Amino acid sequence: MSSTVRTFESAQAACEAGAEWVTRQIGEAVAARGRAVAGLATGRTPIALYEALVARHKWGELSFRDVVTYNLDEYYPISPLDPNSYHAYMNQHLFAHVDLPANRAHVLDGTVPEAFADEHCAAFDRWIAADGGLDFQLLGLGRNGHIGFNEPCDLDVEAMLALPTRIIPLHPVTTADAAADFGGNVDQVPRRALTMGVAPIVAARAILVLAFGRNKADAVAAALKGPITSNLPGSLLQSVSSKVTWFLDAESASAL
Ligand code: F6R
């Protein structure tokens, strides 16, 4: 069975549909198990989706009371108070505006001492497992095909699919794309990050990938139509395609 792919007239329309998808996932998981365990993404792509979720919350249509969240990644090293941290991003775009209990919002800690980074990442995977695994995971797609900060590499596919949460060096395409957020200066972008592994991502019970704009078209086409390869981490989603949904706009779908 192949992935579900929907192409929308605009990124905004895709994000509104994405908010509806998330609302449904939360409702179904809470009805089935009493809570929803959500994997969240940052970056430019899902900002309008979070706006739509906040609007639904304000209208009384969506509560995060029974939600637990795990974010995909965080720069390393970085303070949660740094406006470029993903902690700050999540507070700005979602956490400060909804009724998610503060102790249930998990973002990898960019201040953990380096000697404890492996332990912290391993604990993050154990927390997800202790919460019963992710009910759903939101993903963006890097221009180089990364998911989370699982960057292109030469691992064999089986080893890549088993990767846990860990500290990684960022790929040059990733730091180049992040430079705009760091005053246009690539030297200000942290060289490393903590990322949720491929293993917990592909184990999520449902996955929604959002990708918008012409500069994502080649990565989208390779992820959906190319061979499954660690050189294009998004292609690994083909190995769990029956639970993967892609929401695209016309530009990002243009090479399909
Ligand atoms: C963010 C993340 C990354 C981004 C990707 C696309 O938490 O894990 O994989 O989803 O780099 O970033 P944007 O949306 O800024 O194009």
Ligand 1 closest atom vs CA 213: 16
pTM score over 0.95: yes
> Does 73 contact ligand 1 (Cβ within 6 A)?
yes
Tell me the average pLDDT across 214-224: 98
Ligand 1 closest atom vs CA 195: 8
Q: What is the pLDDT of residue 1?
A: 72
- Give the integer Cα–Cα distance in Å for 126 and 67: 18
DSSP-derived secondary structure letter, 188: G
Q: What residue's CA is closest to ligand 1, atom 2?
A: 148
**Of these residues, 87, 93, 120, 146, which one is catalytic?**
146
Other CB atoms within 10 Å distance of the CB of residue 103:
7
Ligand 1 closest atom vs CA 146: 9
CB 229 within 8 A of CB 196: no
- Give the integer Cα–Cα distance in Å for 191 and 151: 13
pLDDT digits (tens, 9 = 90+) for 65-120: 999 999 999 999 999 999 999 999 999 999 999 999 999 999 999 999 999 999 99
Other CB atoms within 10 Å distance of the CB of residue 172:
11
CB 229 within 8 A of CB 31: no
pLDDT band at 210 (very low <50, low <70, confident <90, very high): very high
- Give the integer Cα–Cα distance in Å for 118 and 87: 19
- Give the integer Cα–Cα distance in Å for 8 and 40: 21
Please state the domain extents for the chain: 37-45+68-227
d(CA 129, ligand 1 centre) in Å? 24
> Does 230 contact ligand 1 (Cβ within 6 A)?
no
Tell me the average pLDDT across 41-62: 98
Q: What residue's CA is closest to ligand 1, atom 11?
A: 142
How far separated are the first and last CA of the chain, in Å rounded?
18
66 catalytic? Reply is: no
Q: What residue's CA is closest to ligand 1, atom 8?
A: 148
> Does 43 contact ligand 1 (Cβ within 6 A)?
yes
State the average pLDDT for the chain.
Answer: 98
Q: Give me the architecture of the 37-45+68-227 domain, per CATH.
A: 3-Layer(aba) Sandwich (3.40)
158 catalytic? Reply is: no
144 catalytic? Reply is: yes
Mutate to test the pocket of ligand 1, among 70, 149, 196, 207 (most ligand atoms within 8 A of CB): 149
Q: What is the pLDDT of residue 106?
A: 98
> Does 41 contact ligand 1 (Cβ within 6 A)?
yes
pLDDT band at 42 (very low <50, low <70, confident <90, very high): very high
